[in-house]
Chain A
């Protein structure tokens, strides 16, 4: 099973600042099959990025994903108030099961 380690656990930033979230895999992820999600309490989780760097239609371009192999990042270039949430990475490029990271909370 591929273990995804997200860091930091919590990121304390102000609106307008840049957020860089890390997701490290215990083994190389085939074809950069890595997704990023945004979770907010009481809301349906939202897919932001798939294939490590492909932004979902409708997701603001301040969100960008990058990386390959075992190291991936999600960058939010300028934090908006609605971006404060918990972010999870998920890999789907290995034998079952697909797995999620432990999450990074972006707080004000």
Chain B
């Protein structure tokens, strides 16, 4: 059974880069599903951050696009998120999840059928 497990630093200093990894076990990361990050912050609640496909397609929340990158490492079966120039408002619980593809016009969109338990990130000096 496929499982997702987030890992991260726990605490990040303001203005630095947050790097998170999601390890995929029990299944293939090249299976035709998408892979995404969703966060839950006190200020905005649940917020979609980014989604990627193993072939290299990447999609970002427009509100975060200038500060975030997502990547999929098919050989090592994990995907990762980098969030640059963090501030206190980036403090929250970060989830990785598997996305099921749907099409809205020219857009690819997803619901998330499998999630990790989340990793807590605190931005503090």
Residues of A within 8 A of B (CB): 30-31, 33, 35, 37, 42-47, 50, 56, 88, 90, 92-103
Q: Which residues of B contact A92 (CB under 8 A)?
A: 102, 104, 109-111
Asked, given contacts A33-B102, A33-B109, A99-B48, whether A42 binds B61 with beta carbons under 8 Å apart, the answer is no
Interface string of B80-111 (1 = CB under 8 A from A): 00000000000000010100101011010111
**Could you tell me if B117 and A42 are in contact, using CB atoms closer than 8 angstroms?**
yes
Closest 6 pairs between A and B when the two form their complex, measured CB to CB: A100-B46, A35-B111, A92-B109, A97-B61, A45-B115, A44-B115
**Could you tell me if B110 and A98 are in contact, using CB atoms closer than 8 angstroms?**
yes
Q: Which of B4, B48, B100, B105 contacts A100 (CB 8 A)?
A: B48
Count of B residues near A, CB < 8 Å? Answer: 27
Q: Which of A43, A56, A96, A100 contacts B109 (CB 8 A)?
A: A96
**Could you tell me if B117 and A56 are in contact, using CB atoms closer than 8 angstroms?**
no
Closest A-chain residue to B101, C-beta based?
A92
How many contacting A-B pairs (Cβ < 8 A)? 73
**Could you tell me if B100 and A50 are in contact, using CB atoms closer than 8 angstroms?**
yes
What is the distance, in angstroms, from B10's C-beta to the closest C-beta of chain A? 16
A60 CA / B107 CA spacing, docked (Å): 32
Q: Which residues of A contact B107 (CB under 8 A)?
A: 95-96
17 other A-B residue contacts (CB within 8 Å) besides A31-B102, A102-B45: A33-B104, A42-B117, A43-B117, A44-B4, A44-B114, A44-B117, A47-B111, A50-B113, A92-B110, A92-B111, A93-B109, A95-B104, A96-B61, A97-B62, A98-B110, A100-B38, A103-B45
